[in-house]
Amino acid sequence: MTATTSRRHLLGGLGALAATAFVPSAQAASGQKPRVVDIPDIVQMRTLGSGAAAMHVTALGFGCMGMSYHRSETPDATMLKRVVAQAYDLGVNFFDTAQVYGRVRAQNEKFVGQAIAPFKNRIQVASKFGFVFDEHEKKIEGRFDSRPENIRRVCEESLKNLGIEAIDLFYQHRFDPAVPVEDVAGTVADLIKEGKVKHFGMCEVGPNTIRAAHKECPVTAIQSEYHLMWREPETKVFPVLQELGIGFVPYSPLNRGFLGGTVNEYTQFDVTNDNRHTLPRFTPQALRANYRIVEVLNHFGRTHGMTSSQIALLWMLDKADWIVPIPGTTKLSHLEENLRSLDFKVSRTEWTELEKQVAAVDIVGDRYPAEQQNQINSN
Ligand SMILES: NC(=O)c1ccc[n+]([C@@H]2O[C@H](COP(=O)([O-])OP(=O)(O)OC[C@H]3O[C@@H](n4cnc5c(N)ncnc54)[C@H](OP(=O)(O)O)[C@@H]3O)[C@@H](O)[C@H]2O)c1
C-alpha cells in the first residue's frame, strides 16, 4: 500500500472528503517519489470540543515545537520538512505550533508554514498567543500579553507565517493575570466571527478559568502537560472538560522524550536551546532515579511487543476518546513508532497494573522550577 493509498483510505473512511477524492501525498505534491509504506492506517479520528466548537482531528497530532525550540540539536530543514510531510502522508491532520517557539519569535511558525505548504488546505493547524518579546525578538521570561490588541496582532502574524486563511485552533498559551479571561475569550470569539480563527483553546488553566472562558466563547480544547509522570489534570481539569464537552490535548506526552528511554543522566542538553536542563526532573540525579519508570514501561512493553513510547501514548489515548496527544519528533523512525501505538490493544486491568507499578516509584524533582510553576493558572 502506498502512502497515498493509505491516506485516501483513511479520509474515505471518514466520509469527509468522499472516497472518490484524490488526495496527493506530500511527497508527490513536492515532486518527490512517494515512499512505499506497507502498513495499515495508523491514525483514527477523534473529536475535540462539542456542538459548533467541535473539531475533528486525528487521534494523534504532531507537535512541531522541537523542530526549532527546546529540544537541542535538530536535523537540517530539508530533513525536518520530510518528517512533517511523512506525518501527513501517514494520515496525521493536526499540527501544533506557537508564536513563542524558536530562538526568536515565530521561527517555528515560519518553518511550519513552509513545511505544510503542499498540503495546508487538508490539515488543521493550532497556534498560540500570549507572550512578550524584546527588541531582538527574544521571549521575555515571565511576561504575558493577552490584551485584545495583542491577540489580534499575533493572529495576523500567525496567518502570514503559516500561509493559511484561518487558524484552526488558537490557544491562549499562558494565563495573563492582567487581562480578564472574558476579554480574551471575547476577542477570540470576534476573530471566529471574522473568519480568521476557527476554534478557541487555552493552555494550563484551572476549572474556574475554563468555565468563565467557555461562557464567552465555547472552548474546543485545553492543552496541558499530561503523561504517566504528571497526572494532575485528571483530578481537577478532566471532570470540567467532561461536563462541558471540551477536548484535551496533552503536551509533552513523552515527558519531553524521557519516557521514550533515550534521555538519561549522561544526556547533554544544548543550554542555548533546550529548557530541559532547567527542569528539576532533568538533573542527572533526578534522571538516574526516575529511569526506574522507563524500566517499568520497558518491562510492561516487552509483554505486548511495544516500546516505552508506545505504552506512554496508548495509555493516555485509552483514557478517553476526547484526548489527542501531540508527541513531537525529528525522526522518521520515531514518528512511525509513535503513530503505531494505535495498532495495539491493552486491557483496562493491565493499565491499572501499570499505573500501580509507576506510582510505586517516587518521582524525583518537580516538573517545573517554582517560578514557571507559579505562572500556571490552577484556579
Ligand atoms: N502548551 C504548552 O505550553 C506546550 C509546552 C511544551 C510542548 N508543547 C507542545 O507539545 C509538543 C510535544 O511536546 P515535547 O516536544 O515537549 O515533548 P514530547 O512529545 O513528550 O517529547 C519529544 C521528545 O521525545 C523524543 N521522542 C519522540 N518520539 C520518540 C520515540 N518513539 N522514542 C524516543 N524518543 C522519542 C523526541 O526526540 P527525537 O526528535 O529524537 O525523536 C523529542 O526530543 C510540542 O511540539 C509542542 O507543540 C506545548
The DSSP symbol for 273 reads S
- The answer to whether 210 touches 378, Cβ cutoff 8 Å, is no
Give the per-residue pLDDT at 342. Answer: 92
What's the CA-to-centroid distance between 229 and ligand 1, angstroms? 14
Place 37 in a pLDDT band, splitting at 50, 70 and 90: low
State which of 252, 291, 297 you would mutate to test the pocket of ligand 1, scoring each by most atoms of that ligand within 8 A of its C-beta.
252
- Per DSSP bridges, beta strands 131-133 and 94-96 are unpaired
CA-only gyration radius of the chain, Å:
20
pLDDT recorded at residue 41? 60
Contact 258, 292 (CB under 8 A): no
pLDDT at residue 378 in the model = 85
Confidence band (pLDDT; 50, 70, 90) for 18? very low
- In this predicted structure, what is the pLDDT of residue 43? 82
What's the fold here for domain 43-373? TIM Barrel (3.20.20)
pLDDT band at 8; cut points 50, 70, 90? very low
The whole-number average pLDDT for the span 130-135 is 98
Tell whether the model's pLDDT for residue 323 goes beyond 90.
yes
Check pLDDT > 70 for residue 22: no
**Sequence letter at residue 204:** E
**Is residue 266 annotated as part of the catalytic site, yes or no?**
no
Q: How does pLDDT run across 52-63, given as a tens digit for each residue? A: 999 999 999 999
**C-alpha of residue 215 to centroid of ligand 1, in Å:** 32
CA dihedral 249, 252, 253, 257 (to 10 degrees): 160
Share of the chain above pLDDT 90, in %: 84
Q: What is the pLDDT of residue 297?
A: 98
> Chain-wide mean pLDDT for the chain?
91
- Provide the strand spans (E) within 147-241: 169-172, 200-203, 219-225
Ligand 1 centroid to residue 51 C-alpha, Å: 30
pLDDT of 54 reads: 98
Q: What is the DSSP string of 286-300?
A: HHHHHHHHHHHHHHH
pLDDT-derived band at 46 (thresholds 50, 70, 90) equals very high
Question: Which carries the bigger pLDDT value, residue 13 or residue 186?
Answer: 186
Distance of alpha carbon 148 from alpha carbon 127, whole angstroms: 16
**Which of the four pLDDT bands, split at 50, 70 and 90, describes residue 377?**
confident
What pLDDT, on the 0 to 100 scale, is given for residue 204? Answer: 97
**Of 62, 64, 65, 97, best ligand 1 pocket probe by most atoms within 8 Å of the beta carbon:** 65
Residue 31 has pLDDT above 60, yes or no: no
Which residue has the least CA distance to atom 13 on ligand 1? 252
| DSSP designation for 219 | E
Report whether pLDDT(122) > 60: yes
> What is the amino acid identity at position 279?
L
Residue to mutate, 42, 74, 262, 333, ligand 1, most ligand atoms under 8 Å from C-beta = 262
Nearest to 53 by CA among 245, 226, 262, 205: 245
pLDDT computed for residue 15 by the predictor:
31
- Mean pLDDT, to the nearest integer, of 277-296? 96
Burial of 318 from C-beta contacts in 10 A (0-12 / 13-18 / 19+): middle
For ligand 1, residues with CB inside 6 Å are 63-66, 71, 96, 203, 223, 251-257, 260, 262, 309, 326-331, 334, 337-338
**Is the confidence at residue 35, as pLDDT, over 70?**
no
pLDDT of residue 372: 86
Q: Does residue 241 surpass a pLDDT of 90?
A: yes
Residue in 162, 155, 171, 159 with CA at minimum distance from that of residue 48: 171
Instruction: Read off the C-alpha cell for 94.
Output: 493536526
Q: Give residue 263's pLDDT band: very low, low, confident or very high (50, 70, 90).
A: very high
The pLDDT score that the predictor gives to residue 26 is 64
In whole angstroms, what is the distance from residue 196 CA to residue 313 CA? 32
Q: Where are the domains of the chain?
A: 1-41, 43-373
Distance 162 CA to ligand 1 centre (A): 21
Question: Does the pLDDT at position 10 exceed 70?
Answer: no
- Grid cell digits, residue 190: 470576534
Please tell me the least confidently modeled range out of 8-22, 148-162, 228-242, 279-293.
8-22
Percent of the chain with pLDDT over 70: 89
Other CB atoms within 10 Å distance of the CB of residue 306: 22
CA-to-CA distance for 91 and 131, rounded, in angstroms? 32
Q: Tell me the pLDDT band of 374, cut-offs 50, 70 and 90.
A: confident
Query: Quick one: average pLDDT of 236-256?
Result: 98
Note the pLDDT of residue 11: 32
Fill in the amino acid letter for 74: T
Number of Cβ atoms within 10 Å of the Cβ of 292: 15
Residue 47 CA to chain centroid, in angstroms? Answer: 15
pLDDT tens sequence across 65-76? 999 999 888 889
